[in-house]
């Protein structure tokens, strides 16, 4: 049964997700042994300086990942679907803040979603700042359909040294939530890695980590469950929905 948005005056939940939630959908994480940073240096592909120095190399890094993300065999998994079910059935607001640039949460049905590190399937014009849906490769031969500038499109993602997106909205939901859940993130990258401390400072939310293994910030969480996301996330959400808001006060 779905609870209508108007009736959602129960306790709020914020879920932070990272690359681990999409691993079992076939997308690589960053810092695992077989992760993206084992094959590419951050300073070559994920900084504004890298893009200024060698845009073709950076574009090709993201083009290859975009081709993977849109391929038929990359689909939302049970953990993405469980979060969509949580949003639909929990009697309070549920916000998913993802560090992931894939579109697996929205494809699973999550609507209240913040892509704090941007979206792989969007291109941004560095001349006029307009953002365009983009499913193919981005090349220096492409023109911005808004301003007509040539070779100014970049992936609409957040590189090191750039400000993550929608930080004001994230701050608001962190301040108001009764439960903060972190899923599939190593806790290496700020500001996301600091959200659990922010929530603890407000002092009223439960904090839970769901990950394959303890993250960098594991000791900051009041409780934790370790295992593959497709197993532990659906089970955790089943328990949460069964217990209901009363389960957050016990
Ligand atoms: C599973 C699993 C399974 C596996 N099931 N789990 C010194 C101190 C503090 C901060 C800084 C500092 N020096 C510089 C900074 C700031 C910097 C930073 O944090 N650097 C650190 C490296 C130290 N941050 C920034 O620059 C950010 N901007 C910023 O700070 O602006 C200033 C500011 C902000 C706010 C307020 C005021 C000022 C921007 C960061 C941008 C990060 N960009 C990237 C690339 C995005 C585009 C792309 O995808 O290419 O984002 S880097 C990469 O890391 C990507 C990810 O979103 C991000 C986080 O990675 P994630 O998701 O945690 O993945 P992994 O691989 O690390 O972890 C996966 C986890 O899953 C592991 O634990 C596995 O065990 C687990 N797992 N399989 C469950 N099946």
What digits encode the pLDDT tens for the residues 126-176?
999 999 999 999 999 999 999 999 999 999 999 999 999 999 999 999 999
* Ligand 1, pocket-test mutation among 23, 24, 29, most atoms within 8 A of CB: 29
Per the residue annotation, which of 80, 105, 115, 117 is the catalytic one? 117
Q: Which residue owns the Cα nearest ligand 1 atom 71? A: 20
Please compute the mean of the pLDDT values over residues 41-50 and round it to a whole number.
98
State residue 1's pLDDT score. Answer: 46
Q: What is the model's pTM?
A: 0.97
> Is 117 tagged catalytic?
yes
The residue nearest atom 59 of ligand 1, judged by CA position, is 189
Query: For a pocket test of ligand 1, which of 184, 198, 216, 234 has the largest count of ligand atoms closer than 8 A to its C-beta?
Result: 184
Name residues contacting ligand 1 (CB within 6 A): 18-20, 23-24, 29-32, 35, 46, 99, 101, 117, 157-164, 167, 184-186, 188-191, 211-213, 215, 228-229
Q: Is the pLDDT of residue 45 over 90?
A: yes
What's the mean pLDDT in 52-73?
98
Provide the pLDDT for residue 6: 59
Nearest Cα to Cα of residue 133 among 145, 125, 143, 123: 123
Tokens of 28: 């690589």
Of 198, 248, 210, 152, the closest CA to residue 21 belongs to 210
The number of angstroms, rounded, from the C-alpha of 145 to the middle of its chain's C-alpha atoms is 28
**Above 90 in pLDDT, residue 124?**
yes
């Amino acid at each position: 049964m779905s609870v209508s948005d108007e009736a959602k005056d129960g306790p709020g939940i914020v879920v932070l997700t990272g690359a681990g939630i999409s691993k079992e959908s076939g997308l690589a994480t960053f810092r695992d042994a077989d992760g993206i940073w084992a094959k590419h240096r951050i300073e070559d592909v994920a900084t504004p300086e890298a893009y200024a120095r060698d845009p073709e190399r950076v574009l090709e890094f993201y083009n290859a990942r975009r081709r993977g993300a849109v391929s038929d065999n990359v689909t939302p998994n049970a953990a993405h679907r469980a979060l969509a079910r949580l949003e639909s059935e929990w009697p309070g607001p549920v916000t998913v803040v993802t560090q992931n640039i894939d579109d697996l949460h929205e494809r699973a049905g999550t609507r209240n979603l913040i892509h704090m590190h941007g979206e792989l399937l969007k291109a941004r014009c560095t001349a006029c700042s307009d953002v365009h849906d983009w499913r193919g490769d981005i090349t220096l031969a492409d023109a911005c359909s808004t301003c007509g500038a040539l070779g100014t499109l970049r992936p609409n993602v957040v590189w090191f040294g750039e400000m993550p997106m929608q930080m004001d909205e994230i701050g608001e939901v962190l301040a108001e939530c009764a439960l903060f859940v972190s899923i599939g993130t190593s806790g290496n990258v700020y500001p996301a890695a600091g959200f659990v401390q922010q929530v603890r400072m407000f002092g009223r939310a439960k904090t839970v980590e769901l990950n394959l293994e303890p993250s960098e910030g594991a000791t900051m969480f009041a409780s934790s469950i370790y295992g593959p996301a497709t197993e532990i996330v659906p089970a955790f959400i089943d328990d949460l929905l069964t217990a209901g808001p009363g389960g957050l006060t016990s």
